Amino acid sequence: MCATCGCSDGEEAVHAAVPSGHEHEHEHEHEHGHAHEHEHHHVHDHDQHEHGPHTHTHADAPARTIRLEQEVLAKNQLLAERNRGWFQAREVVALNLVSAPGSGKTTLLERTARELAGRVALQVIEGDQATAHDAERIRAAGCDALQINTGAGCHLDAAMVGKAIEQLRPPSGSLLMIENVGNLVCPALFDLGERAKVVIVAATEGEDKPLKYPHMFRASRLMLLNKIDLLPHLQFDVQRCIGYAREVNPQLEILQVSAQTGAGMQGWYQWLYRQLAPRHALAAASADATEAVGP
Amino acid sequence: MHELSVTQSIVAICAEHAAGARVLRVRLQIGRLAAILPDAVRFCFDLCTDGTVLQDAQLEIIEIPGRAVCCRCGAQLTLNEPFGRCDCGSTELTVIAGQELRIEQMEVL
């Protein structure tokens, strides 16, 4: 290897492999960014023959190693923390709703928007690969909603949410629901700056979803088991599903709901009020007093 | 699926640090619990590097095994999934290795 610039191309490797016992001098020129010239003077004893001085040119510049130690998702993490700071400064509680497609996230949000209207300022960011259908459904339920279309993307990222909150500008003290793209894999990796992830699993899915997609269930704080109104028609073992979920994430809170019939939704609202506390402690108390708690 | 956007980030970070130099080799650390498939990253790498300073660069991936410490008894165990059960019976584990997704180094010309 060249001591001046550290180059170690193939030709020099050949020099190193030459057995001892020859004498030669050589010069070489480099063609690369930092111009310099140098000479090598190798002198070896040589029994059989002698080399005359020779010149050769290096075609390749020296390679150098750059240590990066860079987290690949650092940029997303930085933007997520920026969003988190934005939310904290305005006492906005942001939740990242994740699930497989068809678990009933949008139906859950429609009912939540209708039933919390007048009690909680609720806003929704809808993430889908295409269409504005979900945002339209949420708006029809009387709630501000902004649609993000990710195109080929399979998840929302912190930059998309940052842009969305600039447009939506959720008011101070509000609850911001971010409905992620229906996908139990990718959204687990991308922090959006949310307070917590809420994973929704429907009774129409397999009860082993938590074992099959452990990253998402581990990253979530709450699991909503939705579509419990269909349980009489299904082979779904609720306790087994809950057992799997707790195996993957012993801290996971679990609530059973039906966004279709409203069963269990009071438990969900109380959980939301606890996230919004102390600002909404009174609202929670009045909700407890006036409405029966679901199963 | 997310490996495509992850690989795009890897290429963007390397290209930025290379500052115009040609990148010959990139070495990544991917933990077994990182929810990233090394083979999918390899597949995406060729697509994402095409036409960039990373074109034809070699990709080296070091896979890091999952390790956790039991919150109840303090024992360490190896994990192949992001959850598990300690010999003492506890499932409350703190993952201490295997979640890496890091560009360790690269070689540029």
The predicted model gives A255-266 an average pLDDT of 98
Answer for the pair B54, B14: CB distance below 8 angstroms, yes or no: yes
What was the ipTM of the complex prediction? 0.90
Contacts of A190 in chain B (CB under 8 A): 2
Answer yes or no: do B82 and A64 touch at CB < 8 A: no
Which pLDDT value is given to residue A277?
A: 85
Q: What is the pLDDT of residues A184-209, one digit of tens each?
A: 998 999 999 999 999 999 999 999 99
Contacts of A71 in chain B (CB under 8 A): 101-102
Closest CA to A161 of A95, A228, A248, A256: A95
Q: Can you give the pTM of this predicted structure?
A: 0.79
Write down the mean pLDDT value for chain B: 96
Phi, psi at A59, each rounded to 5°: -75, -30
d(CA A195, CA A257): 21
With cut-offs at 50, 70 and 90, classify the pLDDT of residue A156: very high
Which pLDDT value is given to residue A294?
A: 42
Answer yes or no: do A65 and B2 touch at CB < 8 A: no
Residue B4, SS3?
helix
Closest CA to A182 of A99, A113, A259: A99
| Closest by Cβ to B102, choosing from A72, A185, A249 | A72
Q: Splitting chain B (109 residues) into consecutive groups of 10 residues, what average pLDDT does each group show? A: 90 96 97 95 96 97 97 96 95 96 97
Element (H, E) at A240: helix A238-248
